[in-house]
Amino acid sequence: MPRRQETTVPSMESPTEQAVERTWKISGAYANWELRIAVTPPATGSAIECREPDYASLVGHFRVLVNDNELSHKLNLEDQESA
């Protein structure tokens, strides 16, 4: 099973604008996977004030995507070895 790592990197772009970046990393046998989401202020430069979204559903889909691709790669390797 791939290993999952989650990090949060808040950064201040100006005293009135705040950006939030969230990153999820999964180390697999086939590849290292990374999902990065950035919530940034609009181009107008006005401050944003909002709750951080619930990422659970998105991260769940990311995990499924990674697991499916890792398994597909493993099965392709096994097919090549048995051919």
Cα–Cα distance measured from residue 46 to residue 67, given in angstroms and rounded to the nearest whole number: 40
- Say what the pLDDT of residue 34 is: 96
> Domain map of the chain by residue range?
3-82
pLDDT at residue 69 tops 50: yes
The pLDDT tens digits for 25-57 are: 999 998 999 999 988 777 776 665 666 778 899
User: At residue 4, what is the residue type?
Assistant: R
The two beta strands, 3-14 and 32-39, are unpaired
**Three-class HEC string of 42-75:** CCCCCCCCCCCCCCHHHHHHHHHHHHHHHHHHHH
